[in-house]
A and B are shown apart, each in its own frame.
Chain A
Amino acid sequence: MNWDWENARDSIPLLLEGLLVTVELTVLGSALAYVLGLVFALIRRARIPVLSQAVFLFVELVRSTPLLIQVFIVFYLLWPALDIKPSAFLTGVVALGVHYATYTSEVYRAGIEAVPKGQWEAATALSLPRTRVWTGVILPQAVPRVLPALGNYMISMFKETPLLLAIGVLDVLNRAKEQGAETFRVIEPYTLAGLLFLLVSYPASILVRRLERRVGHL
């Protein structure tokens, strides 16, 4: 099969449109994963009867089932049950965000545990209020350490967005498929889509690696 430059050029506007959707999904999904993951980690650590166990069970459940099934559950079961009709895009944000929150919660947990015991003891000895111990002492030390790990999850989420094809989100790959269906030439759009993924995720992973070196001595 030959490479058709014209088809390649024609697919670029659509692919870039798709890329924008992919990036938006990733940014919003990660934001949700970062916030929700911290909430999960704090609830589990607080050992609140029932609630902490419920979060633990939920995290285990989500981590042991495929993301695609979770996407279907949210789209076909959760929304109808709540009697609302969010867009496929929003469904994607929620499914990705919640799925990755179960991973980021473990990351936060490790970061919190890495703060030396002496910090807790000094905070106790100084009678700092509980919330201030978290916001002023523990989290400012735990979070910088885990930024690289959080960054890696963002990259991996970015690469998983094509999964949302299943509910019709028009990301890069789905745009490539659309273009292929129209011209009956799939090589160019799919190759370019792959290149676009590479073009974003490779520099991103270099950035994360540099971040790792910077926080390595924290």
Chain B
Amino acid sequence: MSDTSNMIHFDGVVKKFGDHVVLRELDFTVAPGEFVTLIGPSGSGKTTILRLLMTLERVNEGRIYIDGECLTHTSKGDKYVPANEKHMREMRKRVGMVFQQFNLFPNMNVLKNITEAPIRALGMSRGEAEARAVDLLEMVGLSEKAKAHPSQLSGGQQQRVAIARALAMRPEVLLLDEVTSALDPELVAGVLRVLKEIATTTDITFLCVTHEMQFARDVSDRVMMFDQGQVIEDAAPEKLFTEPEHPRTREFLHAVLDRA
């Protein structure tokens, strides 16, 4: 069992793609309402962590818990077996994800993108879902775009719709997967402003993968430096960004901050 004071708990998680080990016995926890950012070189497995939480990938070994409940396994008699689709479907409703490529549904307008899941997955009435969508659109500053199609929006606008769409499911955990990486530089700030607002006004737990170091520093409660399938440094942002302890962290920060 896992301590219920953790919203997210990785317990000895191993993930391999073929022979390539992406996560090696990874352990970490995230407290409820905490905003944790994962930084580290590309290909170090940060995105894989989010994908495992969203059940888009399966663990090879170890367990993942969400709010004390096991996501990856269920007990069968006195044994633990890999969770079936039904179990994951229930657990999934508590987690939301915003993707690098937005992944809005191009065949639906903005309003429908946001109301689809609450209606179909949560059984919310159309009226309630639409009222909520209108509120969320206002929050992300796109009230006038309810009837627009994704193809008519800029990347930054699409990503803000994607954020509203994820929030419409009232997730306890929100996963942010390099949400500004596909955006033109001038559109990044608008998206980050929206996220910061959500992070400070809700009690959602965030796990964020980003290359926006200033943003990570501004909003995170904790930053984890990730390298070669392991967390090599885990500290408050002021500490990690100003006096990193691990040489790899120093190297990495030097490289990315130099570039900026």
Q: Which residues of A approach B to under 8 Å, CB–CB?
A: 116, 118-119, 121-129, 132, 136-137, 140-141
Q: Contacts A126-B116, A129-B120; is A121 near B93 (CB within 8 Å)?
A: no
Q: Contacts A121-B56, A136-B116; is A127 near B103 (CB within 8 Å)?
A: no
Q: Which residues of B approach A to under 8 Å, CB–CB?
A: 54-56, 89, 92-93, 95-97, 99, 101, 103-108, 116-117, 120-122, 165-166, 169
- Using CB atoms, name the residue of chain B closest to A132: B120
CA distance A128 to B165 in the complex (A): 12
Do the beta carbons of B89 and A121 come within 8 Å of each other? Answer: no
- Using CB atoms, name the residue of chain B closest to A126: B117
Do the beta carbons of B99 and A126 come within 8 Å of each other? Answer: no
Q: Contacts A118-B103, A119-B105; is A126 near B56 (CB within 8 Å)?
A: no
The DSSP consensus for interface residues of chain A is: helix
CA distance A130 to B121 in the complex (A): 10
Do the beta carbons of B120 and A121 come within 8 Å of each other? Answer: no
Do the beta carbons of B54 and A124 come within 8 Å of each other? Answer: yes
CA distance A123 to B99 in the complex (A): 12
Do the beta carbons of A124 and B55 come within 8 Å of each other? Answer: yes
CB-based closest 8 A-B pairs: A126-B117, A122-B103, A118-B103, A127-B121, A140-B107, A125-B97, A132-B120, A127-B93
- Using CB atoms, name the residue of chain A closest to B96: A125
CA distance A128 to B123 in the complex (A): 11
Do the beta carbons of A118 and B169 come within 8 Å of each other? Answer: no
- Using CB atoms, name the residue of chain A closest to B104: A122
Q: Contacts A118-B99, A140-B107, A141-B106; is A124 near B92 (CB within 8 Å)?
A: yes
